[in-house]
Amino acid sequence: MTRITFIAIFFHLAFLMQAQLNSNDPVVAHRGAWKKDNLPQNSIASLRNAIKMGCMGSEFDVRMTSDDVLIVHHDPDISGLKIDNEKYAQLSKFPLSNGEILPTLEDFLREGLVDNHTTKLILEIKSSDLGKKRNIKVAHAVANAIIEHHAEKQVVIISFDIEILKIISDKYPVLSTQYLNGDLSPKELKALGIKGVDYHYDVFKSHPEYITQAKELGLFLNVWTVNNPNDMEFFLEKGFDFITTNEPELLYGFVRKNIPIKDWQLVWRDEFTNDGLPDTTKWSYDVGGHGWGNNEKQYYLSNSLKNSYQKNGILHIVALNEPYENSEYTSAKLTTYGKFLFQYGKIEVSAMLPAGKGTWPAIWMLPQSIRTKEEDWPLCGEIDIMEHVGKNPNVVHTSLHSKLYNHIINTQVTHFDTLEAVSRQFHTYGIEWDDKGIKFIYDGALYFEALKGENGKITTNEGWPFDKPYYLILNLAIGGNWGGPIDPDILPAEMQVDYVRMYKKI
């Protein structure tokens, strides 16, 4: 870990830029984006929220009143009154919980077509209890309303009733349809002219061949209602066109994590999806309170839920003002040693750093050779992807250490700069590493670059020991030679990690 000052040796600097996000995400907000802000489902407000978020789709339910008004509502009754048997004027006397008047399909189409360049309207036609004749009437009325509003490209029609979808497919082929019930194969749907498969996640897990078959037939793939993080990961990795969820904010987090990276193959990852202790198949701990060569003040504990835990897709590494043995503080130091070694490729770690004097979080790497005692530090080499000391807020350091170039003799290959709000926002810290050099990439932009053999000084192992397997380390130190005096009011302090990913060049 870097200890002292900036010495700019062998680097190229570029302006920081935010990584561009993929706009073609698969997030469909089920009955709108209602849950986070406690909005009524199937409301204009929840539709607006979904559009504001940039969701690919906002799903809603349509029924017909006795006087043939198409309304947006899920259940077959409102306040005990059957929608099939009541006029809109009577049903509209019962406002939604936010005061909205019961919305009509026309209301939704008007709202969904204004300043909306991202979000499709996923319209579910609900079957009527009055039977087939009524369902036929509803199907034609919905299709005509969409066409009258010139919304053919903006709306996708879904239904559990295959007869409704067959009518629309036959009579209105310009409209897109997806089937919900799960009892027909993609081949059968294709033969009927249905354009998408929209099944419950259990159907796809029971029939994984449907996924391959739908893709081969050119059908859209949609899945409902996906609220579990593990299921989100599963269907994102399967490349679904639509994923319908009551948790669009959570799914959006996974979408942003899973943006494909051109020319790189993902070989190791942790998205921290399961609550509890870190995954022991991926992480081990360094344990102890001996100062780690820097007079640090913490004792690193293993398997302590107080000091390292996963919750809601985030890894928390926590430093506490809690004496343990001869140390005043406890914290955690996670490593992939014994679990995963890495040589050449791309690493990305999304993290939010602690604030306050005395904190010293780091994302860094050491080689296997130091563990096997083949090499001591600094001959072994150290790669510091990110370090931050709380006494210098938002100043982020990156460094390389070797026998010839290290902080002890003030020759380390290093760079630092100020980033925005590192303790309030997640930033992505990473490297791209090959046999020619190491690029440090922050938030998708080049931050610093060190080239092997630049100026003819670092071609030997003593100058460039970075051509061998390394393991990754995540830790939060307190105090020490560089961390400095500790403000007791900042504890507990924590580094939060959203994901860790490692790639190999294709």
Task: List, by residue number, the catalytic residues.
Answer: 382, 387
Nearest to 193 by CA among 164, 165, 157, 153: 165
Contact between residue 123 and residue 158 where contact means Cβ atoms under 8 Å apart: yes
CB atoms within 10 A of CB 184: 17
Contact between residue 307 and residue 317 where contact means Cβ atoms under 8 Å apart: yes
Nearest to 264 by CA among 345, 385, 341, 344: 345
Ramachandran angles phi, psi of 235, nearest 5°: -75, -25
Q: Terminus-to-terminus CA distance in the chain, angstroms?
A: 30
Alpha carbon 390 to its chain centroid, in Å, reads 27
Which residues are 196's β-sheet partners? Answer: 178, 220
CA dihedral over 377, 378, 384, 390, signed as positive or negative: positive
Residue 183 has which token pair? Answer: 């009892």
Q: How far is Cα 212 from Cα 368, in angstroms, rounded to an integer?
A: 41
Contact between residue 413 and residue 406 where contact means Cβ atoms under 8 Å apart: no
